[in-house]
Structure formats: C-alpha cells, structure tokens
Amino acid sequence: MQEEIISVCYSGNKKVFQGLLLSVLSLIKYTARPLHVYVLSMDLHEQNPVFLPFSENQMNILDGVLKQKNPQSRAELIDVGELFRKELAAGKNAKNYYTPYAQLRLYLSELAGIPDKLIYLDIDTMAASDIGQLYDIDITGYEYAAALDYMGKFWISPVYCNSGVLLLNLPELRRTRLFPRVREYVAKHRMIMPDQTALHRLHKKRLILPMRFNEQRGIKKDTVVKHFCRGIFWLPFFHIYNIKQWERDAVHKRLKIHDYDDIYDQYDRLTQTCDPEK
C-alpha cells in the first residue's frame, strides 16, 4: 500500500535558504513518507536588495535532498509576486518587523495545484519527530489548526495562536473566504504581527493544537515541531532574543539545544559539494 504524501509549504527568500534546507533535512530525518514541499517566494528587490526569490540551484538542491530519502518526494517553487503586488505591496503592513514573505501564505487558497490539506511551516522551524503526526490530524469542519502562542496567550488572549505552524483545510478556507478577508484586513490595519493577528480576529472555526506541535521554548520528549521564534531571557536581565536554527553557536550556548547536531553535520557535508548561496 502506497503511503499518503505529506504536503508541506514554506515561504521566504533566497537569503534564508540555509534555514529552509535545515528544516527540510529535519523533516526527512523523522519520516519515510513522501513529502511534497511547496515553496512560496517572489522578487521584491525594489523594496530590499536581499528580497530575491529562491534560485533554481537552491530548489534543485532541495529537490535532490528530498528524492534521496524518498524518490516520490519533490520540491516546487511558486512565484506569488504578482498576487502580492495587487493587494498587499502597498498595504499598511508592507513594511513591518516581519518580512512581506510571511504574508504569502495568505494566497494558498488562490493557487492552483495545491492539495486540500497542507502543513504550513515558518522557515525557522525544525522537526523533532515525525511530521506525519501533525498531518494526520482530522480537521474536517475546521479552517485550520494551530497551537497557542507562548507569549501571546498571556499578553493578548488566552486563545491567541501562533501562525508559524498551521494545518490548513483549503476547501473550508475557500468556503469561508478566510484568507481573502485576512488579506483585506492586513492591507488596511497596521499591526505588529499582521497576518497572525488577523487570523485570530477573523477565523470562524479553528482547532487548537497541543503545544508539542509548535514548541516555542525547550524541546520536550513529545515535541513534533520546534519553533525558533522570539522569546525572553529573564536573567541576568530581561531581554528579548530571536535565535534561529542556523545560528549554531547561539543555539548551543544560549538555548542549550544540541538535538540538531547531526543535521548540522549533514548540512555541512552536503554543502561541500554544492553552493547553497547561488
């Protein structure tokens, strides 16, 4: 019996390819099932010189890594620039603490060829066990599923969710028109965390997941996805940190995380024979 394909989506630009590759390497470490990885990107260099789409070379590296683990797996790049320019390029949150690439996921319900069920992952996420545990959750009747935001549940709302890990039900999202409504809201209202806050305010029905599917602090025994998002160090003084998985020294010394050392080694071996910057 053929195993069901797990569909995963990321969004970003050429500069963060190291994070994308590390994240995908963590996915294939823990699952033998085929993965279809959709990568949303665009050329927005007029706003920032580093806002360039992932290159053909980078996508070939990603596709090769996936197929080496499972020949049925593949990576696909999708240019969302034209859609973004029509609605959000001149919106209130076009320039924000978060790059405009975070908003590209809001077009998933408009894209042809996207499967009905899809995991969206921020590039600063790493699998800690089989991502199939998330994909196989039944979200019939829900627009999406998400875990609570570690800080937002205290400071904003006890049911405020983090949008860095989403399990999406595309037919339901199209029925309720959630993403078009969120895009309109993001274009018109300035927010610190634009699409995340708009999703919180406008959703009709979502499933709140256990934190193990979007662990925003230390990795635990049952963690499925570790999210390297912003957090707080209280000692020796209060300050906010934002350490990503590709910042190895800080991951080791400040976060005390060594769970991905084998993946770092794999990344180093892989990039000895190819140039991920091209």
Structure tokens at 109: 């319900």
Provide the pairing of β-strand 144-147 with 125-127.
Answer: unpaired
Complete edge-to-edge strand list for the sheet that includes strand 206-209: 74-79, 35-41, 6-11, 117-121, 165-169, 144-147, 206-209
The residue that leads in pLDDT, 155 or 172, is: 172
**Distance between CA atoms of 149 and 72, rounded to whole angstroms?**
34
* Domains of the chain by residue range: 6-229
* Residue pLDDT, tens place only, 54-98: 999 999 999 999 999 999 999 999 999 999 999 998 888 888 878
Instruction: Give domain 6-229's CATH number out of 3.90.550.10, 3.30.200.20, 3.40.50.2300, 3.90.1310.10.
Output: 3.90.550.10
Please determine, for residue 224, whether its predicted confidence score (pLDDT) is greater than 80: yes
* Residue pLDDT, tens place only, 120-135: 999 999 999 999 999 9
Could you give the 3-state DSSP secondary structure of residue 219? coil
Please determine, for residue 1, whether its predicted confidence score (pLDDT) is greater than 70: no
**Distance between CA atoms of 37 and 40, rounded to whole angstroms?**
10
Could you give the 3-state DSSP secondary structure of residue 78? strand
